[in-house]
C-alpha cells in the first residue's frame, strides 16, 4: 500500500503546519483507492477546534460533514486526514493519536511543524487496530 499525493498538496500541508504553530493544523484527504494505492485528489483545510490545539487536533465538524458530502457527490471518499506535530515530536502517531484511531482503512498523514515540512511528512494506515507506515509517492 502507498499514498499518492501531489507535491503541491504536501507543500500546502507543510505551510499550514508552519502557519498554525504552536498549534496543530488539521484537514481532510479526499480521494479514492486504486489497487494498492490511496490517491489523494483534494485536500480540505479545517479549523482545529480542539480544546487544547497546541497538543491535539479536532477537525471542525461542519468542514467534516461538508467534505464527506462533496466527496460523495464526486464519487470519492474522505480517505483520511492530516495534522501536524509540533517541533520535537516525530511525524508518527502519538499515544493520543493511537487512542483516537478507530476507523479501519483510515489514513493519517502527519507532518512536523518545522522547516523540513513536506519532506518530513509520514503516512500511516490504521488497520486491524494498529498503525502501519506506508510509502508516500508523487501523485496526480
Cα of first residue to Cα of last residue in the chain, in angstroms, is 17
115 phi/psi in degrees, rounded to 5: -60, -30
Q: Of the given ranges (5-9, 36-40, 88-92), which has the lowest mean pLDDT?
A: 88-92
pLDDT greater than 90 at residue 61 = yes
pLDDT greater than 70 at residue 118 = no
Cell for 83? 495534522
- Identify the CATH number of the domain defined by range 2-138: 3.40.140.10
pLDDT (tens digit per residue) in 91-110: 899 898 999 898 889 999 99
- The pTM score is 0.93
* CA–CA separation, 27 and 83 (whole Å): 7
Q: Domain segments of the chain: what residues?
A: 2-138
Amino acid at each position: 500500500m502507498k499514498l499518492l499525493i501531489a507535491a503541491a498538496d504536501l507543500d500546502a500541508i507543510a505551510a499550514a503546519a508552519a502557519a498554525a504553530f504552536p498549534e496543530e493544523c488539521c484537514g481532510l484527504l479526499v480521494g479514492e483507492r486504486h489497487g494498492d494505492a490511496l490517491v489523494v485528489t483534494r485536500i480540505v483545510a479545517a479549523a482545529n477546534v480542539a480544546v487544547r490545539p497546541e497538543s491535539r487536533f479536532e477537525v471542525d465538524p461542519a468542514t467534516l460533514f461538508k467534505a464527506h458530502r462533496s466527496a460523495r457527490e464526486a464519487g470519492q471518499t474522505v480517505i483520511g486526514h492530516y495534522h501536524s506535530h509540533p517541533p520535537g515530536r516525530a511525524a508518527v502517531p502519538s499515544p493520543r493519536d493511537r487512542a483516537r484511531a478507530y476507523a479501519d482503512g483510515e489514513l493519517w498523514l502527519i507532518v512536523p511543524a518545522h522547516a523540513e515540512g513536506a519532506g518530513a511528512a509520514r503516512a500511516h494506515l490504521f488497520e486491524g487496530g494498529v498503525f502501519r507506515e506506508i510509502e508516500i509517492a508523487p501523485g496526480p
